[in-house]
Structure 1
Amino acid sequence: MIITAWNIRGLNDPLKQQEAQHFLLVNKVDCGALIETHVKHKAIKDVSTNFSGYNLVHNNDSHYNGWIWIFWKPNILSLTVLHKYAQHMHCLLLYTASQKFIEVTFVYAFNARLDRRELWKQLNNISSQERLGSSDVQLADSNEFKNCLDACSLVDHPSTRCHFTWNYKLLEWAKLDRVLASPQWLTNIHSTIAYLNAVVSDHSPCLGNIVDMPTSRKSSFKYLNCWALSPQFQDNVKEGWSNHYYGNHIATLFPKLKKLRGSLRRIHTSIFTNLSARVAEGKQALQQCQDQLNCSPIDLTLIAMEKTLLKDYLMVKRAEMQVLYQRAKVQNLQLNDVSTRFFYSRLADRRARNSIGIIQDENGKLCTGFKEVSQGFISYYKTLFGTSSLVLPLLTSVFLQDAIPSDCYNPLVQHVRVHEIIDALKSIDRHKSPGIDGYSSGFFLDAWHLVGLDFKTAVF
């Protein structure tokens, strides 16, 4: 589904009408908004006839200038306007093919600061029913705008192509047009945003693409530091490490690590899935037990139950924070510095920024969706590297004799000491991405007394 928004700066000019129609057609837009149309009510019928194949809804009845016009293809989408005001229109879109709903708000903010206050209140009312946490916003020029974004939990959607979306006679440049999204949107919906050249306007059109996620596949194994909090962790590692394999030291280490994956996955399934729900349930059970204990402070059964519930709650709470910290990769923060909602927000933002959903091929065509993007990369690198190459003979003349002085050579070939291995392992942040086998330095540190000997032997 292709969604667009373009501040056209006047749609009464037939040239701009033709350019807008061409833009919708070429980019196969399913739904979009033309902003700041300046079309009076009496001219709506004449102008709208140039956009055949689209249904139209506007806010001319909310403001005489008709700031926002929304188009959509009725055979692709079903659109319902939930809120209509002078500065924004909030819509519910039903994608007919997948029967999925999304909510989209098209906004044109007035120039006067006092006039925009009403917009911030209205947007805050839209998001007040569902808040996912504070956001790391760095785009506000005014405190009122920043407060609105914080209250609505909105962040700047990652985008490609033009960085500056507005210019004044090519002398002044600024990023005025933005697509804002909630952390929930960035987590659950795979979308891409591109700002294209302004052409006949001084604002760049925004082209958004919402694509279905690829068919789910079994996720690759990645060690989570929270698994070491499980009481069964050490026993599972000990049992998995008791298997014997033949070969050199490195050849015997990797089969043990591979065999252990199944046990660690079972620990994750039994204890560490749906951590947020487990934290909420654990906290509720603990509070209920403490309420009962307040009424019967000498009940030994309740005292024992409270200790068990507290221990379980603290374990899943620490596990939740460790998982979010490890996946979000937030730098220079400790686990108790910020709330869980902050990590969810950063994780969603990081996933969106690491996703490549739109590229431009060598012919200038925009490729969107997983298939087109992957084929675009394959085609580019096939052209760059080719499919086969000749192997040239090795030129021994390029090697220099005695290139390294003996006083530098000897330290390089010395035997590795045990403390050097341990120090090197501890110097690797346990939150760093794991190696190809899925294990990070955190696993070897957590189970060092069980796996340390094989690890050191493999290094030697």
Structure 2
Amino acid sequence: MIISSWNIRGLNDPIKQMEVRSYLSKNKVEVLGLLETRVKSNNFAAISRTFRLYSIMNNYFHHYNGRIWVFWDHRKFTVLSSQIHDQLIHLELLHHISQAKIYVTFIYANNDASQRERLWDELRGIAGSVTQWIILGDFNIVREMGERIGPNPPSVSEILAFNKCLLDCTLADLNSFGYSPCWDIGSLTHIG
């Protein structure tokens, strides 16, 4: 099972759409969260049609810019339930072959720390009802001060709030691979 996320930083360009299709095909990705699509809702249908083999969900109803799109191979997965918010899309998926249920949450956290507090509360709410949970995305915060690259370091209280959320949800970092110009992108998995 290959599940991935990509902070695409804009999907309006047909060349970028071709890159995503190539990435899906080349890597045999079965579930993909695209973050920061920058596609206006009136362009969603035209662009999403170019991804014919995938079912697609978005969060336009909760954020005017549809910051998160989730693709899944409908030949391999059925979505049993979903929660959609402005900073996350959470799915309960049934894998057709293994009949395993997995929970996947794609995050594109707000840059504003007070808005991220709502996200941490939403994750705590999900944590109590899931097993086999993976979270991928851009949290817009780091776990340690040394992970941040750039001139604007986060406050210690923001880092502590993020780490407390991870602890409360019994989440642990997973290794990730691929190009990552921002160190605040990661994946987490539920332990327990």
What range is the shorter-chain TM-score in? 0.7 to 0.9
| Aligned counterparts of 1:93 and 1:119: Cα–Cα separation in 2 | 21
Q: Tell me if structure 1 keeps the 8 A contact 2:176–2:186.
A: no
Match of 2:191 in 1: 183
Cα distance in 2 for residues equivalent to 1:104 and 1:182: 10
Structure 1 110/130 Cα, relative in aligned 2: closer, same or farther at 3 Å?
Answer: same
- Counterpart CA distance in 2 for 1:7 and 1:79 is 22
Inter-CA distance 62–80: structure 2 relative to 1 (3 Å threshold): farther
Match of 2:123 in 1: 123
Correspondence for 1:19: 19
Take 1:112 and 1:33, find their aligned partners in 2: how far apart are those partners? 21
**Mapping of residues 308-347 of structure 1, within 5 Å:** none
What is the alpha-carbon distance in structure 2 between the residues aligned to residue 99 and residue 130 of structure 1?
16
Output aligned runs, 1:300-315, within 5 Å: none
Q: Is the 8 A contact 1:81 1:89 kept in 2?
A: no
Q: Where in structure 1 are there 5+ consecutive unaligned residues?
A: 132-137, 167-173, 185-460
Are the structure 2 counterparts of residues 140 and 86 from structure 1 closer, same or farther at C-alpha, using a change threshold of 3 Å?
farther
Q: Structure 1's 130 and 98: CA in aligned 2 closer, same or farther, altered over 3 A?
A: closer
TM-score by structure 2 length?
0.82
Determine whether 1:158 maps to 2:187.
no
Q: Is the 8 A contact 1:84 1:90 kept in 2?
A: yes
**Aligned residues, how many?**
169
Give SS of 2:90's match: strand
Q: CA distance change for structure 1 residues 113 and 19 in 2, over 3 Å: closer, same or farther?
A: same
Distance 1:103 1:39, change over 3 A: same
Map 1:21-100 onto structure 2 (within 5 A).
Answer: 21-100=21-100
Match in the other structure for 1:139: 143
Whole-Å separation in 2 of the counterparts to 1:62 and 1:39: 14
- AA in 2 matched with 1:30: E
The one-letter code matched in structure 1 to 2:188 is: L
Separation of aligned partners in 2, 1:68 and 1:51: 15
Structure 1 length-normalised TM: 0.35
Shift of 1:129: 4.1
Larger Rg: 1
Hey, what's the Cα distance between the residues in 2 that align with 1:39 and 1:12? 6
* Unmatched tracts of structure 2, length 5 or more: 132-141, 146-158
Identity among equivalent pairs (%): 37
Query: Higher strand share goes to which structure?
Result: 2
Q: Say whether the 8 Å CA contact 1:40–1:64 is kept in structure 2.
A: yes
State the shift of 1:155 in Å.
Answer: 0.9
The answer (yes or no) to whether the contact 2:9–2:37 under 8 Å persists in 1 is: yes
Which gives a bigger RCO, structure 1 or 2 (Cα 8 Å, sep 6+)? 2
Larger helix proportion of the pair: 1
